[in-house]
Amino acid sequence: MIGVMKQSLQLKVGQSLTMTPQLQQAIRLLQLSSLEMQQEIQEVLESNPLLELADEDIGDDPLPAKSDSETTSESGDIDFTNKAEVTTDSSSPEVDSDWDNNAQATDDWQENIPEDLPVDSSWDDVYGQGAAGSGSGEDYDFDARNGTEETLKDHLLWQLNLTRVSPNDQLIAESIIDAVNADGLLGQTLEDILDGLDPELEIELDEVVAVLHLLQSFDPTGICARDLRECLLLQLKELPEDTAWRSEALIVIGDHMELLGNRDFNGVCRRAKLEESDLAEVIRLIQTLNPRPGAALEPSNTEYVVPDVFVRKRHNRWTVDLNAESMPRLRINGTYAGMIKRADSSADNQFLKDNLQEARWFLKSLQSRNETLLKVVTKIVEHQRAFLEYGPEAMKPLVLHDIADAIGMHESTISRVTTRKYMHTPRGVFELKYFFSSHVGTATGGEVSSTAIRALIRKLTDEEDPRKPLSDSRIAQILGKQDIQVARRTIAKYRESMAIPPSNERKRLV
């Protein structure tokens, strides 16, 4: 028996959530940092002719973004001002007039070109800003032309090239220099360096040691040391012989380095035959030495943080302002917008239409990003006003859910807004994530932010007696007297997160 398949139509009603390209763009822009946002804007400007920078010189005033210029919170203590302008230009100037002006400007430019250029001049000298220009153009890279890229290895090789050595010693020296790490200390043993040399040269270990001593006379002092002890000894030996406490420091570092590292000051005094006050002077001299002599010569690329918002106190009220300088003002190009014709279906006209729509979507996404950022930061400032007034010890517990409920958004949106966004306050520049922290219960039923607890630990360790540092248990007891119940393990975890050493390593002589 053969079965028969029947076709039928059925109508079903359902709901589905679809992310439009515009929504996807808005979400993507929301999580970009200021520097990434500037790069994104630059790429859009290069790809979309309908979008342009709103120069101050242009007569057509750009339209401000549709957002409240000043909004006061329910508490009446906070207002925020949107100073970052995202603009559109709805005006459509006469196309013929603009083209005539452009043509006239072109004619004037051509008339000003001299027939013959001076012999010692070039086209870039007169009309451009090339490599021989004054350096005031946008392409001038000040850091590239004036910065130094010399590494520690380059510095050592330069000194080696100024020193007369045999070919074998040259090879040994280059191998030793290759083994020097960023701190200026040797990262390999001399035996390993010897094994890496050509066996046919028949180089002995004594020769490697001799070349090492030569390199240790190079600048900076203490370079090419095999360990910290040798590094400090090299620097002490370079000091003038009449330097106060130099001879005692040589004994302490040379013979009792391990005891000093373990903070066994009584043992150092007993073995070096020093009074405690004398040892304090010796330690002060040792602290003037550089344990990482090569670090100063290693190039470091400084990364600057651009704040997204500024928080200031004006007339006893905290205000939140967008950083207008971190984002350029944009507008629709009126000339190209005026060339669009409704009834025209040509490829050129369709190209202008598509780019006009994309430009409007982009401006709307920027406006949404700024408004959302202001809402989130305003609520953070409302909640953490005590931090702005009194410092980290007054930080209150805060989670993403609190801000999401306050402004009626999802937690994922708040997470995107607060990632890689920075707030400039009178107390410094902080990432928005800094203001969110878990809570610890108090004996009275209240809550204390983990950030506040870290600040209290920092304050206690800074004010402690250096002769008798506070242990983690003692810190827990002190916080307990303030109704803050924190376990010793939690204190240790917070202390380690702030790179505060344990009590035995914090002990020192006054």
pLDDT of residue 201: 82
Q: How many CB atoms lie within 10 A of CB 495?
A: 20
> Please, how many CA atoms are within 13 Å of residue 489, restricted to the half-sphere of its CB?
0
Hey, what are 274's tokens? 């020093």
Q: Are 397 and 448 in contact (CB under 8 A)?
A: yes
Give the pLDDT score at 288.
Answer: 93
* CB contact at 8 A, 289 and 250: no
Separation CA 198–CA 56 (nearest Å): 68
pLDDT of residue 320: 92
- Reported pTM: 0.60
Residue pLDDT tens, the chain, 510 long:
565 667 777 777 766 656 677 777 778 888 888 888 888 899 999 999 988 988 644 444 443 333 333 333 333 344 444 543 333 333 333 333 333 343 343 344 334 434 443 434 343 333 333 333 334 444 444 444 445 567 889 999 999 999 999 999 999 999 999 999 989 999 999 999 999 888 888 889 999 999 999 999 999 999 999 999 999 999 999 999 999 999 999 999 999 999 888 888 889 999 999 998 899 999 999 999 999 999 888 766 667 788 999 999 998 899 999 988 877 888 898 888 888 887 788 888 889 989 999 999 999 999 999 999 999 999 999 999 999 999 888 888 888 999 999 999 899 889 988 988 999 999 999 999 999 987 676 656 567 888 888 889 998 998 888 888 888 888 988 888 888 888 888 888 889 888 898 888 787 765
- Residue 217 pLDDT: 93
What pLDDT, on the 0 to 100 scale, is given for residue 487?
85
Identify the pLDDT of residue 7.
Answer: 76
pLDDT of 497 reads: 87
Q: What is the pLDDT of residue 444?
A: 60
Nearest to 92 by CA among 341, 336, 334, 330: 334
Distance CA 364, CA 384 (A): 30
H helices of 152-225, in order, are: 152-161, 167-178, 190-195, 205-215
- For residue 151 the two structure tokens come to 């590494």
Q: Which of 223, 242, 243, 219 minimizes the C-alpha distance to 231?
A: 223
The domain ranges of the chain are 242-292
Q: 32: which strand partners?
A: none
pLDDT, position 11: 79
Residue 180's pLDDT is what?
93
- CA 161 – CA 164 distance, rounded (Å): 8
pLDDT of residue 488: 87
With both helix axes pointing from N to C terminus, report the angle between 167-178 and 152-161 in degrees, rounded to the nearest 10.
170
Closest CA to 414 of 429, 399, 425: 399
User: Quick one: pLDDT at residue 72?
Assistant: 36
Handedness of CA 199, 200, 201, 203 (dihedral sign): positive
| pLDDT score at 135 | 40
- Confirm if 401 and 408 have CB atoms less than 8 A apart: no
Q: How far is CA 418 from CA 328, 370, 434, 454, in A?
A: 21, 13, 9, 21
